[in-house]
Amino acid sequence: MEVLRYDIVVLGSGLAGLRAALEASLTSGGRLRVAVVSKLHAMRSHSVAAEGGISGVLYPKETGDSFELHAYDTVKGSDFLADQDAVELLVRLAPEEIRLFDHLGTPWSRLPDGRIAQRPFGGMSIPRTAYAADKTGFFMMSTLYSSLQRFDNVEFFHENFATSILMEGGLFKGVTSVDLESGEMRVIMGKAGIIATGGAGRVYSFATVSQASTGDGISIAYRAGIPIKDMEFVQFHPTGLVPSGILISEAARGEGGYLVNSRGERFMSRYAPQRMELAPRDIVSRAMMTEIMEGRGFTDEESGLGYLHLDLRHLGDRVFREKLPMIREITRKLIDVDPLEEPIPVRPATHYTMGGIHVDTYGQVLLNDGNPVPNLWAAGEVAAVSIHGANRLGSNALSECVVWGRLTGAAAASYAMKASDTMLELSESLARRVKEEESRVFDKLIHREGGSENPYEIRRGLQRLMDDKVGIFRHGSTLSEAWSQLKRLKERFRGVRLEYTGRTYNNNLRDVLETASMLDVAETIIVGAIARTESRGAHYRLDYPKRDDANWLKHTLVYYRVGEEPVLAYTPVRIVKWSPEERRY
């Protein structure tokens, strides 16, 4: 088996991973060897699909904006579950990152006077979302990827599926991965590691996220003994295109779009009269599902899905040409609807994972005793810093990715520059672990005889149960049913079979490994949701419809135990400035 040795191993190649690799290279002057490991080609990472923009206080004198106002909006939007010191860090560093991307060549949309344009977004009291038309993520990713081509010290491992994190003596040692092209397993060792593998939205079927967003980084961290935080908080974006679920950016509402029911009413006046369509996503999504369930929606003949209308007809041709070109392209190509002439059919779709790997304010991974892993960090959607708490405000995600990409990249580089090369030795105990992982992936999957379970049926069953029982509206009884069904699916998964047993581009194997990740992720979501007997942000319990600060102003931690039920623990929310209050929009 091939053993490769690097100073820093970055798992994931989206905005957070690439920003971390860039910062590590800048910090070290290009002297550190950095491996970027991605199960896709880097430029197919889900960050390229981000549309609406990135938040930051750019022009406080001209707009009346401030760091404090951005922080307050974020904390309030989080339903007061965000750690406020982390939010302060976000709002202060985000403008620096936007300007860095400007200097690197990101083609921001501009105002006539040359300033970077900013648009309104849900839950934001002032327009502070910088954008590049409605292709912001793509342009930011292109900027980073192009910039990294100048560094000879950065090596990309495209289409390498990481299957485990190697830990020894409380330290990160490296990862095992399957080269999907050759089918060979390799060990990639590092003096420091950064996990930046993104979210897990594909545990649901109707989702805005790419098919690759299966929570692999969360799963391998979970199985390595690292606590997973606040996974019960799953964001549903109000406007997924029906019937595919493809994202129709919040930018459409930021530019003035209306949500309309079958009676022609702008129904948000009943739910958030002050902010209307630009209330936070949890509020808008619940309002939309209420309209649909109470019979004021439409029904899609192909899928049977209920939906509502997003009406953009009044925006005019210029807005589409200059600010929303991709939205018009998507709807015309996929459903033959021109949004200049017809409203767009939309319904809430799974979009973002607020929870993730338990880290401190600066992205350093924490263990179950609260102590940090000295040489391991996590950044972006895979991590729970926590700045989003129970509900993320739109456009704060890209800010988080680049801010914590920067912070973790610098920290990992500082550590690696001082670390000894002896950290890259493969000990006998690690070698045994690697052999066990190779056996799990190949002998117990590819070469297994007698397996009868279809992995795709298990995956569809998992997505159905998450859609039906762990969605926007939850109840203790249906969550308990979901837990029972999940345990049966996990038992069935032990007997899974592969139809294709070759090694070269074995997509069947990749899909099975992803399904294993999804089962782990679903476990952390469901156990946290059952335990949290309140409604907060994106976690809404019909049997506990009120927020309960006396008992639940705390983060959920889930720990993996081999062969046992997961273990729950809690850690307090860090409140620096704002005490919880009622959210009014």
pLDDT tens track, the chain, 585 positions = 899 999 999 999 999 999 999 999 999 999 999 999 999 999 999 999 999 999 999 999 999 999 999 999 999 999 999 999 999 999 999 999 999 999 999 999 999 999 999 999 999 999 999 999 999 999 999 999 999 999 999 999 999 999 999 999 999 999 999 999 999 999 999 999 999 999 999 999 999 999 999 999 999 999 999 999 999 999 999 999 999 999 999 999 999 999 999 999 999 999 999 999 999 999 999 999 999 999 999 999 989 999 999 999 999 999 999 999 999 999 999 999 999 999 999 999 999 999 999 999 999 999 988 899 999 999 999 999 999 999 999 999 999 999 999 999 999 999 999 999 999 999 999 999 999 998 888 887 877 766 789 999 999 999 999 999 999 999 999 999 999 999 999 999 999 988 888 889 999 999 999 999 999 999 999 999 999 999 999 999 999 999 999 999 999 999 998 888 999 999 999 999 999 999 999
Say which residue the tokens 């030795």 belong to. Answer: 425
Strand order in the sheet with 129-130: 54-55, 129-130, 118-119
Strand ranges (DSSP E) for 111-257? Answer: 118-119, 129-130, 154-157, 160-168, 171-179, 185-195, 228-229, 234-241
Q: Tell me which architecture the domain covering 428-544 has in CATH.
A: Up-down Bundle (1.20)
Q: Residue ranges per domain, the chain?
A: 2-51+131-233+352-424, 240-349, 428-544
Burial of 314 (0-12, 13-18, 19+ CB in 10 A): exposed
User: Is the CATH code 3.50.50.60 the one for domain 2-51+131-233+352-424?
Assistant: yes
**The residue type at 312:** L
Distance CA 95, CA 98 (A): 5
Active-site residue set = 237, 253
- Contact by Cβ (8 Å): 106, 140: yes
Burial of 427 (0-12, 13-18, 19+ CB in 10 A): exposed
- Contact by Cβ (8 Å): 150, 22: no
The pairing of strands 298-299 and 306-311 is: antiparallel
pLDDT at 563: 80
How far lies 246's CA from each of 326, 346, 462, in Å? 12, 10, 20
How far lies 181's CA from each of 21, 341, 504, 516, in Å? 24, 46, 5, 21
Q: Which is nearest to 364 in space by CA: 355, 376, 354?
A: 376
Say which residue the tokens 């490296």 belong to. Answer: 174
Distance CA 338, CA 358 (A): 44
Treating both helix axes as pointing N-terminal to C-terminal, what angle do 396-418 and 136-148 enclose, rounded to 10 degrees?
A: 20
Distance CA 358, CA 557 (A): 8
For residue 334, count other CB atoms closer than 10 A to its CB.
12
Say which residue the tokens 């708490």 belong to. Answer: 389
Residue 530 CA to chain centroid, in angstroms? Answer: 22
**The residue type at 347:** R
Burial of 561 (0-12, 13-18, 19+ CB in 10 A): exposed
**The residue type at 172:** F
- 3-class secondary-structure state, position 432: helix
For residue 114, count other CB atoms closer than 10 A to its CB.
6
Distance CA 452, CA 454 (A): 7
Bridge partners, residue 10, by sequence:
36, 194
pLDDT (tens digit, 9 = 90+) per residue, 11-42?
999 999 999 999 999 999 999 999 999 999 99
pLDDT at 447: 72
Residues in the chain: 585
- The CATH number given to 240-349 is 3.90.700.10
Distance CA 35, CA 156 (A): 6
Say which residue the tokens 């979970």 belong to. Answer: 222
The end-to-end CA distance of the chain, in Å, is: 57
pLDDT at 435: 92
122: which 2 tokens? 């849900």
Distance CA 134, CA 252 (A): 9
Element (H, E) at 352: strand 344-353
pLDDT at 176: 96
- 3-class secondary-structure state, position 393: coil
- Contact by Cβ (8 Å): 233, 49: no
